[in-house]
Amino acid sequence: MRAHYLQHVPFEDLGSIESWLSAAGAEITSTRFFEQGNLPNLEEIDLLVVMGGPMSANDEEKCPWLAAEKLFIRDAIWSDIPVLGVCLGAQLIANALGSRVYQNREKEIGWFPVHRIPSSGSSNFCFPPSVEVFHWHGETFDLPPDATRLARSEGCENQAFQLGRAVIGLQFHLETTPESAKRMIAQGRSELLPSKYVQSEATILAASPEKYQEIKCLMGEVLFFLTGLPRGGRPESAGNLF
């Protein structure tokens, strides 16, 4: 398994995704746009992960590499390469496929629940009925054509979607670790103006180890769903792979 990830800023890296991929024996490569990194040939990768960042998917004038990145994401999807998008990454998938990205009615920053959308499709990823996850976003997106909405929250209708069998977009951050949460706060502290869906720094940092473990296991289940690779080649659910 050759996994490649697209990183937009230094403080939003793979988080717990890295340990899962490493334990599964994946070869991990990256394009770091903040270092003017190059995109690989699609023939060289088996999984594409698109990470988050504070810029908008619409910021092509400020971030000219966004245009090439969206074309790359679209071509990866059309080439049937499994693709996972996280926060900005989910917005970039939607935008690459022609959907709008725009300001959400609410900012969501902190630990808030998302709720599963019932689906009749047996090939769709199944979230828990409700799970508290970490958010940091101010924008949202329209679902790409033919995509299935998998989850919503009180503050944002489109929290997760699936396209075909192998493309999943997550508006929230299942990959978050205590260390990555601290890095995001250090870079975005000015956004922490408490409101209905924005928590204080103290509240965010008070999250229990059990919360981080729960989203880590759920991230593993998503990766297992996309790749079919349990850690160490064992057949059990990816939720037990940490």
Q: pLDDT for 10-34, tens place per residue? A: 999 999 999 999 999 999 999 999 9
Is pLDDT above 90 for 238?
Answer: no
Model pLDDT, residue 229: 83
Record the tokens describing residue 98, joined without a space. 């022609």
Record the tokens describing residue 168, joined without a space. 């999943």
For residues 188-201, give the mean pLDDT. Answer: 95
The distance of Cα 79 from the centroid of its chain, to the nearest Å, equals 20
CB atoms within 10 A of CB 196: 10
Name 76's Cβ contacts closer than 8 Å, sequence gap at least 6: 42, 45, 48, 83
* Residue written as token pair 């064992």: 234
Tens of pLDDT, residues 63-103: 999 999 999 999 999 999 999 999 999 999 999 999 999 99
pTM: 0.93
Domain of 220, CATH number, reads 3.40.50.880
d(CA 161, CA 145) in angstroms, rounded, equals 11
Tens of pLDDT, residues 28-65: 999 999 998 899 999 999 999 999 999 999 999 999 99
Contact between 82 and 124 under an 8 Å Cβ cutoff? The reply is: no
Cα torsion angle, 41, 81, 145, 94, sign: negative
Q: How confident is the model at residue 233 (pLDDT cuts 50, 70, 90)?
A: very low
Domain count, the chain: 1
In angstroms, how far apart are the furthest CA atoms of the chain? 46
Model pLDDT, residue 133: 98
Q: How confident is the model at residue 190 (pLDDT cuts 50, 70, 90)?
A: very high
Model pLDDT, residue 36: 86
Is pLDDT above 60 for 146?
Answer: yes
For residues 133-139, give the mean pLDDT. Answer: 98
Is pLDDT above 80 for 236?
Answer: no
d(CA 147, CA 42) in angstroms, rounded, equals 23
Model pLDDT, residue 240: 33
Q: Which of 191, 111, 118 is nearest to 155 (CA)?
A: 111
CB atoms within 10 A of CB 232: 10
Model pLDDT, residue 239: 35
Find the domain containing 219 and state its range: 2-240
